[in-house]
Chain A
Amino acid sequence: MALSKSNLNVGDQHSEQIVDNLTRTQIIQYAGASGDYNPLHTDEIFTTEIAGYPTVFAHGMLTMGMTGKMLTNYVGDGRLTKYGVRFVAQVWPGDSLTATATVEAIREEDGVSVVDLAVSTVNQDGTEVVKGSATARIDG
């Protein structure tokens, strides 16, 4: 189900909880699927004793991937033309994250209707962990 130009307004928002109580196992699943086996994400002993962090933490790309789920649920499958983020705070085991897309513009690009979205993901304390933007094709 794609978005339609006639039903969209600047300022419209779509939010989803993208993870509730992030587990170390999910971080390990992401390491295995993505191929990023950095021990900072999966190896508690290395991360605390060598790297000096309180515990392992999520790959930024895991948060971007989970945030992408909110985006594709909103704009529809295969509709994204751009998606980018900055990683602004670390995500830890036990975090619960909510991702939000906000309509910034509805416009034409090369004869196709598109929507520009601001993207923001926050943790359970309201701290922003990912900030970005996306563009998707919409029905004219």
Chain B
Amino acid sequence: MATEHFPIEAGHIMLFARSVGDANPIYYDANAAADTEPGHIIPPPTFVQSSAQFTEGYNLRPVIGEPWFGSGKEPTGIQRDSSGGGGGGTGFHAEQHYEYHAPIQPGDVLKAVDMPGNSWEREGRRGGTLKFNESITEYYNQDGVLVVTARSVGVQTSRVVE
């Protein structure tokens, strides 16, 4: 899933910082941020995850005019097979890792380049067979500078985790 255009916006950073309960002024007050070591508003460490807002075809964002698997009149708006998350098994985020290479600030426009990683399986105690998938995403700014490398591991369980 490509993210060609991820604009770094001050309001988005503020909303993200609020959502993780972080009141640090460097995330919303440009004047206060000017007196810090970075010297400008910066995003919190996990902010690039919100590039999902700008990812074409991201499957956990409702698509206008199309059925959504969350509830409406019925508990789900779509019939899904058991491997897709609507039945017994579910996909989960197992690991997330970031490396920070260069600063990010409002006004930057990032581009995310996704690369596949390893896949492996093991038997889990709580969720049956666990299938792991790794993906690596490199975020570049408008000058072509690598700013963040993200490595994500997802896991698919074969039954509900208890």
**A residues neighboring B (CB under 8 Å):** 2, 18-19, 26, 29-30, 32-40, 42-43, 45-46, 49-53, 59-62, 64-66, 68-69, 71-73, 76-87, 90
Contact = CB atoms under 8 A, between A and B. Distances in A.
B94 A87 contact: yes
A61 B94 contact: no
Nearest to B97: A84
B116 interface: no
B50 interface: yes
Interface string B12-25: 10011011111010
Interface string B28-46: 0000000011100010111
A13 B87 CA distance: 42
Contacts of B15: 29, 32-33
B52 A35 contact: yes
Contact of A19 (B21, B37, B87, B103): B21
Query: Which residue, A26, A42, A43, A78, has most C-beta atoms of chain B within 10 A?
Result: A78
B124 interface: no
Contact of A35 (B45, B61, B69, B151): B61
Nearest to B54: A35
Given A18-B21, A68-B46, A51 B37 contact: no
Contacts, number: 153
B118 interface: no
Given A51-B160, A84-B151, A30 B19 contact: yes
7 contacts: A32-B15, A33-B18, A60-B92, A65-B45, A78-B103, A84-B96, A86-B94
A34 B98 CA distance: 16
Given A33-B19, A50-B86, A90-B161, 20 more contacts: A33-B16, A35-B50, A36-B49, A39-B71, A43-B70, A45-B71, A50-B87, A51-B86, A52-B160, A62-B19, A65-B20, A69-B20, A77-B26, A77-B42, A80-B98, A82-B97, A82-B100, A84-B95, A85-B95, A87-B96
Contacts of A81: 99-100
B123 to A, nearest CB: 17
A61 B45 CA distance: 11
Given A29-B19, A66-B20, A61 B93 contact: yes
A51 B93 CA distance: 16
Contacts of B160: 51-53
